[in-house]
Structure 1
């Protein structure tokens, strides 16, 4: 008997997304425990109801009636006014007042400590099932709060920290991060914006242009600029909070030139900003801005990966509901072998992306909550390897999954009346935001070279494999063990290459690390489930290994693989599986 009845749904909405997503629950269960898990579960369940109903409905309307910019008033005065539909305000109120940002900085009622950042990413996953665009400003608000909490000093910055972590939507200041300049793009060191000091300590005037500014009218925007006589490159950049308006209500000296006419993520206004002597409040020390900004960048990359997983989850839900209800040639299309195979592999990709992302999120939490410098450094080194890979691979997977979900819905999926149209448009920005695939792959090389990130990475893979001892996992772990050895050899060989040759292999390496690490992680998670009496995830691990690591002869055509037919209900519909069914029979005694 299947645990989830997709045929009972009309579309992938008007259900509690947390209750309907065992994949997310399992990933959170693995990395949170005790009081953290209990508190997070209660709040995730409550927000899952909002995400699956009100936000899911409003997001479709907002996609057609997004924010509008009025740069100038009737008399030619600069007003920089972004007008939002009421439905988007209601979405944002539900997100912020559910504690998506506040809970990880201030303890919710009934707790002494804030929740881990993993909770924020899980909330963002649920929000992204309905509106990935809105998660952009929410995550940036969390990112600004993180930077101010760690590096901010003084009454003005303390005020912005309090406002970005407010539980009251009407008292909230949203955050943003303006990095991109037209001449620089991913080359942040090419920033041309300058910051001139004023007579007031810590207050500067910023002049320059920012080219791709999401959440353009945020009250607490972090921007990078170069102070006089600062060196070139990222080492000469300082970090500033640039408010939308001053405490007295007067606009800051900047011009919002236009909003971008984007393919998707309509719910977040993205535009061009011209800084014309805008007031900026220095965060931390001069010329250390990029280093501080990387804390926010790592958070944003994990938020991007969480959003990707949320879109994968929603696309998968829509596709599975369609396959359970749509009949062709007298039968629901889910009964046909090719569709079963596609839905199985979509489910396996969902499990893989989510497991890897929340493993990376756990390393982010360990770094932020480390008890000493040694623990902090160990977590940081692993995080430096996992975070860029998580962002890179899940972004591509979100595009592919949304595209195929659209195909399963057929012509309906292609038109704007059905959500797969928006899911694909929203997903397409995820490989671009916070670093493209090439930039992320090169970042992995830097982590290996500068932080020796391969050491904790390989240790963690081995730890996963050492845990996966159940007989049902024996075949899968044998393949992963062999690939683990090959990965170690590949990493060693990479160290012998010159810079250009190594760069040519960067993306292949990121893919290889993802596949081996995820395979070992799924085996470890399957071990836990097997011990609890469920073999479903052992099937998922086996399928991931077979499709990503175990090269099939004859392109798999000659192997008579019937996995998708035999295990469809288990993998796609989350049916519980007796471990005995997935454990190979012991050889008979002669």
Structure 2
């Protein structure tokens, strides 16, 4: 191939684009974690998905969707309210491909019952791959999938909506949901004065002959072009969950008044809005006064997806860093052959191996929780702990990946700058770090016996790993303290590390021992590569990370 040439210089010693790569078969840790957690038999499906999403065409669509951000059209030329958001065609292309693959509904039957089996693990593998290409559009995808869990509290509403949710057709038309080929759902919980404290919400719901009328606002409501939203409002008996469609039953546009779109650090392809409800029509979901317990069924699933997405972003960062290092020469050697760079990349690869093993183990618990009480307990206790650790790990990890590419990593022409800007959102959405730690404490206090059983399972799965026994003792002691909240971050991080070591031990005992040695038996340094891994371990990690 002829090298590009300018008047003053030739272009060489640059890595080729990392595209037209099968994002499943090129990821041995993912393949192993899927198989170890019940996903065997889905390889052909995942190979096809990995090839499609690893294509140059999909990478270009992801770039276009982020560079051409959504626009709010509040009024038409004559002054009539429109309250619609316009997206670039690339965004619609990403939505169509994810929906065609069932990322929004493949874990539910046509009646809205959990599929079980391996559906959560297989869907998670696809979600993990898709997040490496374009994460913003996955917000309405995950909310649509998760909303089914909350809609189950209102069986008649679920029966009406599920036939439209259950299709694999993407229909972006601004029209009543009941006449569309497919639908998406969003969520509105937080208000200016309350934020995480949704009990402080002031939005009110008035019962009427045909449902409820909602008056108030939401400070954050993502994906405002969804066909309906699950929102919280104060009814006569307290905070209640409601289904708010974009159109009223008579076909009129519902009274959702979008004030503006948020100017976010990342997540640029996805619109997030501020909205006022001017007597908007809504239907109740579940009992009045039970809004939090209703919507928390949805939140557990969105938290799961936050962790999967962050893991996918880190995997992409590792892939691009390693690919670049294998092609870039410095001081007469490829970067990937320089001992210090090898240490950095191998340490990063070890982190990703443990992370993907952990999120797939969590998804196995979601698959099996209906039939296995121990798996249900694992899900309840560890979902917030895993979200905490995985999501907060992503920003510093992606900074390190950017640095591996030098200046090329820092410019917007490449993917890693977008990943870096995207990465903080998963730790903030669906409950920030402190909220996750408090949720772990709450689960421990409410279900002490079940939590003890989970710790016994982790101890068995991590048996023999360096530092596992000491980690268990530290976690137990911290959670028994009278001031456990003060040390909750320390204990929850240690709990997640132990769970990661245990999950990786099932997938790859050799890597689990390395992970435990550097993370459980010792405090991992703040910088990747500041560990002493032997050359054989380094070679194995890097060959496995990206064959």
Q: Same fold (TM over 0.5)?
A: yes
What does residue 170 of structure 2 align with? 169
CA distance in 2, matches of 1:398, 1:409: 17
| 1:71-470 map, 5 Å | 71-106=74-109, 116-148=119-151, 150-154=152-156, 156-170=157-171, 171-200=181-210, 203-228=211-236, 230=237, 236-367=238-369, 369-370=370-371, 375-376=372-373, 378-452=374-448, 453-465=450-462
CA distance in 1, matches of 2:189, 2:203: 10
CA distance in 2, matches of 1:247, 1:319: 52
Q: Secondary structure at the match of 1:62?
A: helix
- Write the deviation string for residues 516-540 of structure 1: whole angstroms up to 9, x where unpaired: 222233223225xxxxxxxxxx0x2
**Count of matched residue pairs:** 519
Change (3 A) 1:101 1:462: same
Q: CA deviation at 1:428?
A: 1.8
Change (3 A) 1:405 1:293: same
CA distance in 2, matches of 1:553, 1:77: 59
- Whether the aligned pair in 2 keeps the contact of 1:101 and 1:141 (CA below 8 Å) is yes
CA distance in 2, matches of 1:392, 1:265: 19
Q: CA deviation at 1:239?
A: 1.0
Change (3 A) 1:359 1:478: closer
Q: Secondary structure at the match of 2:230?
A: strand
CA distance in 2, matches of 1:553, 1:444: 23
- Whether the aligned pair in 1 keeps the contact of 2:99 and 2:141 (CA below 8 Å) is yes
CA distance in 2, matches of 1:561, 1:95: 41
- Write the deviation string for residues 350-375 of structure 1: whole angstroms up to 9, x where unpaired: 011111112122222222x32xxxx3
CA distance in 1, matches of 2:165, 2:296: 19
Q: CA deviation at 1:30?
A: 1.4
Which has the larger displacement, 175-184 or 118-127?
Answer: 118-127
What does residue 535 of structure 1 align with? none
Q: CA deviation at 1:103?
A: 2.2
What does residue 584 of structure 1 align with? none
- Whether the aligned pair in 2 keeps the contact of 1:142 and 1:165 (CA below 8 Å) is no
CA distance in 1, matches of 2:89, 2:517: 48
- Whether the aligned pair in 2 keeps the contact of 1:103 and 1:115 (CA below 8 Å) is no
- Whether the aligned pair in 2 keeps the contact of 1:237 and 1:288 (CA below 8 Å) is yes
CA distance in 2, matches of 1:396, 1:175: 27
Q: Secondary structure at the match of 1:180?
A: coil
What does residue 482 of structure 1 align with? 469
- Whether the aligned pair in 2 keeps the contact of 1:237 and 1:286 (CA below 8 Å) is yes
The answer on 1:524 being equivalent to 2:526 is: no
What does residue 48 of structure 1 align with? 50
- Write the deviation string for residues 406-463 of structure 1: whole angstroms up to 9, x where unpaired: 1111111111101111000111212111111111111111111111153122111122
- Whether the aligned pair in 1 keeps the contact of 2:266 and 2:421 (CA below 8 Å) is yes
Change (3 A) 1:543 1:239: same
- Write the deviation string for residues 179-218 of structure 1: whole angstroms up to 9, x where unpaired: 1111111111111111100012xx1001111011111121
Q: CA deviation at 1:495?
A: 2.1
Q: CA deviation at 1:221?
A: 0.8
Q: Secondary structure at the match of 2:202?
A: coil
Unaligned runs of 5+ in 1: 1-6, 231-235, 467-476, 528-537, 578-590
Change (3 A) 1:478 1:424: closer
TM-score normalised by L of structure 1 = 0.83
Change (3 A) 1:294 1:338: same
Which has the larger displacement, 438-447 or 96-105?
Answer: 96-105
CA distance in 2, matches of 1:16, 1:561: 32
What does residue 494 of structure 1 align with? 479
- Whether the aligned pair in 2 keeps the contact of 1:483 and 1:516 (CA below 8 Å) is no
What does residue 26 of structure 1 align with? 32
Q: CA deviation at 1:222?
A: 0.5
What does residue 573 of structure 1 align with? 543
CA distance in 2, matches of 1:445, 1:102: 31
Q: CA deviation at 1:542?
A: 2.5
CA distance in 1, matches of 2:364, 2:491: 22
Change (3 A) 1:326 1:281: same
Change (3 A) 1:105 1:478: closer
Within the candidate set 486, 492, 498, 1:504 is matched to: 486
- Whether the aligned pair in 1 keeps the contact of 2:471 and 2:494 (CA below 8 Å) is no
Which has the larger displacement, 240-249 or 15-24?
Answer: 240-249
TM-score normalised by L of structure 2 = 0.89
- Whether the aligned pair in 1 keeps the contact of 2:319 and 2:545 (CA below 8 Å) is no
- Whether the aligned pair in 2 keeps the contact of 1:121 and 1:302 (CA below 8 Å) is no
The answer on 1:15 being equivalent to 2:17 is: no
Q: Secondary structure at the match of 2:265?
A: coil
Q: CA RMSD in A?
A: 2.6
Q: Secondary structure at the match of 1:276?
A: strand
Q: Secondary structure at the match of 2:18?
A: coil
Unaligned runs of 5+ in 2: 1-12, 172-180
